Chain A
Amino acid sequence: GESVGLHLPTLSVQEGDNSIINCAYSNSASDYFIWYKQESGKGPQFIIDIRSNMDKRQGQRVTVLLNKTVKHLSLQIAATQPGDSAVYFCAEQASSYKLIFGSGTRLLVRP
Chain B
Amino acid sequence: SAVISQKPSRDICQRGTSLTIQCQVDSQVTMMFWYRQQPGQSLTLIATANQGSEATYESGFVIDKFPISRPNLTFSTLTVSNMSPEDSSIYLCSVETSGTSSYEQYFGPGTRLTVT
Complex Cα spacing A76 to B86, Å: 36
Which B residues are in CB contact (< 8 Å) with A103?
41-42
Q: Which of A23-42 contact B (CB under 8 A)?
A: 32, 34, 36, 42
Q: Is the interface of B mostly helix, strand, loop or mixed?
A: strand
- B residues sitting closer than 8 Å to A (CB atoms) are 1, 4, 31, 33, 37, 39-45, 48, 58, 90, 92, 96, 99, 101-110, 112
A70 contacts which chain B residues (CB < 8 A)?
A: none
- B58: chain A residues within 8 A (beta carbon): 98
* Contact (Cβ within 8 A) B40 A44: no
- Given the known interface contacts A5-B40, A44-B107, the answer about A97 and B96 at a Cβ–Cβ threshold of 8 Å is yes
Could you tell me if A4 and B99 are in contact, using CB atoms closer than 8 angstroms?
no
C-alpha gap A7/B39 in the complex (Å): 9
- A97 CA / B106 CA spacing, docked (Å): 13
Question: In the complex the two chains form, what is the Cα distance from A98 to B46 in whole Å?
Answer: 10
